[in-house]
Amino acid sequence: MSVKKILLLGAASIAAVSATAAVAGGYTHEPMSSGGSYYLEGHAGYARQNYLDNVRWRASSGVNTNSANNASGGFSGGFDAGYNFNRNYALELGWFYLPTVNTMTGSAVPAYLKSWAAYLAGKFMVPMAWMQDTDWFFKLGVAYRSATIPAAAQSSLAVTSGNSTYWHPMFATGLDYSFSDMFSGVAQYAYFMGSDKSFKFIAVNSGALGTMAANVFTLGLAYKFTV
């Protein structure tokens, strides 16, 4: 998914849901308050990262020749902290662990690609008229993503560096269900972009292996408080 598509999706999603909620009577504008609340969230679930079907990774590594390597995806978890300016707007800082991927062939000692993503995002929330105590939310921001491979994998893959970091837009969407004034359940989908410039090949003009995009599906628990 391109940067332009992410930005367009964000604008369209916010506009569409705001209009729908307003028609349904579930959205009323509230003025910015002088104070707000803080929140902490923990998430756990599954991240889809499709290294298995990527042509360059299949040709250069062992992602398609070893088992239990998370080449298509695996466990993901993370946490975030944010500040609610009012009922509809918040600012959030978060971090996610992404699945490790064994890059070596089945007969070789495993060498894992490890990655994570941190982000800063604005959060837009709308109460859903037809779902009591439930908010729809959309997050749009910028993510810093890190991916590393050990020296053994760097040598086997013939790449110039075992580290890759980059900045890209990110977005997330989902539902918050309030159990009480302090606790909420969270169902979320988050998207972190990949990069086709990660892990450049040593051979000149050969391109790079790249880092795959992460589609992260999680359930979580949120705690809201004031100070």
pLDDT digits (tens, 9 = 90+) for 73-126: 999 999 999 999 998 999 999 999 999 999 998 888 899 999 999 999 999 999
- Return the pLDDT at 27: 46
Torsion of CA 166, 212, 171, 187, to 10 degrees: -130
User: 74-92 in b/e burial notation, b at 16+ Cβ within 10 A?
Assistant: bebbbebebebbbbbebbb
CB 198 within 8 Å of CB 210: yes
CATH architecture of 40-225: Beta Barrel (2.40)
At residue 64, the 3 state secondary structure works out as: coil
* For the chain, domain boundaries: 40-225
pLDDT of residue 129: 86
Mean pLDDT computed over every residue of the chain? 88
Flag residues of the chain having pLDDT under 70: 1-35
Q: So what's the pLDDT on residue 107?
A: 80
